Amino acid sequence: MPQIGLPLGTILIAGETEQAREVLERLLRSQGYRVLAAADGAETLAVLRTQAVDLALLDVMMPRAGGISVCREVKSREETRLTPIVLITGSGQADERIRGIEAGADDFLSKPLRKEELLARVKSLIRLKRYTDELESAETVLYTLASSIEAKDPYTEGHCDRLSRYSVALATQLGLSELQRVALRRGGMVHDIGKVAVPDQILLKAGPLDPVERRLMEAHTVLGERICAPLKSFRQVLPIIRWHHERRDGSGYPDRLRGDAVPLTARILQTVDLYDALTTDRPYRRALPQQEAFATMREEVRRGWWDGALVDALEVMLGNAPALVASPVKAGRTAARELVQSA
């Protein structure tokens, strides 16, 4: 294939002998790929940190670090974890494959490499990387939008990030699935994204809202769900966005769901949302100490609003991991308003 226009993708070849690298390099270049090479583990990590690589082919027998430990390192770093990795193993080395899977490798090729198989794997993994990149961009847009809403009010700084962390920690303690934890991480960031459609004079109003203003504010749940709905990877996040203001006695919004009809993930988010609002400063009062916050939450559990088991679990979690509690941050005036309004 002639190399005209942009390359089909950038591939890093790491390990192997210089001679083997050159053969691979020629083959992949002839197919229209841009090719980078690294001799050992340290060089591989340096290239992956500094260059946009769409696929890495790592020889398990790579000098110094070894392909499997390099793979583990790449997959554990936030900035490189989505780079697909193909481990090149010796033939019949089942144990290497098992260790490679545990290290997060995306695929394997056995020596001697067969041209057709190599090119087919490369093509499909690079296509997958393209989809992941597109998905990442869409997520980034949503997070940026959510942050812009948070930034409207200097008191809300860090609120979404804390919600994300507390929710995931609570979900982990309760033994929720990876899918639910990911949904909560995302939900913590974007649960109030619908506020983008709420006028600033309502969002930042110091006094109580009139009935029309209140309806507009409450619509942030439905609007937020609509904004995130086109993203398939956010399917599990939509119930959190729509129902994070429901209450067990049916007095919440937007659908007046009762009891366990409110999904567990939405109940987890609302529990930590409430805790965060109570333990940070509000325009009209200082942050409550942790014990007082839990006393208030239990009072509201008795009124039939929140899930008492989750309030207990949150208290246990914070008792076991005090470091999770962020340093005092000024509270969200807007987050506080929602909770006050729904009270």
Contact residues for Fe ion (CB under 5 A)? 192, 338
CB of 34 or CB of 247, closer to Fe ion: 247
Fill in the DSSP letter of residue 281: B
Nearest one of 343, 336, 335, 163 to 252, comparing CA atoms: 343
- Cross-strand bridge partners of residue 86: 57, 107
For the bound state, the minimum distance from the C-beta of residue 338 to Fe ion, rounded and expressed in Å, comes to 5
Determine which helix (DSSP H) or strand (DSSP E) holds 11, and give its type and residue range.
Answer: strand 10-14
Element of type H or E holding 109:
strand 107-110
CB-nearer residue toward Fe ion: 65 or 223: 223
Question: Shortest Cβ contact with Fe ion: which residue?
Answer: 192
Q: How far is the CB of 227 from Fe ion (least distance, A)?
A: 13
Shortest CB 238 distance to Fe ion, Å = 14
Q: What are phi and psi of 47, to 5 degrees?
A: -65, -45
Q: From residue 336, how far is each of 53, 189, 219, 270, 317 by CA, in Å?
A: 44, 16, 16, 12, 23
Strand pairing partners for 282?
285
Tell me how far, at minimum, the Cβ of 213 lies from Fe ion, in Å: 15
The sheet with strand 85-89 has its strands ordered as: 34-38, 10-14, 55-59, 85-89, 107-110
Nearer Cβ to Fe ion, position 192 or 276? 192
Q: Which CB, 14 or 310, lies closer to Fe ion? A: 310
Q: Smaller CB distance to Fe ion: residue 277 or 301? A: 277
Least distance (Å) between residue 211 CB and Fe ion: 18
Q: Which CB sits closer to Fe ion, 192 or 246?
A: 192
- Residue that has been written with the tokens 């027998």 in this structure: 61
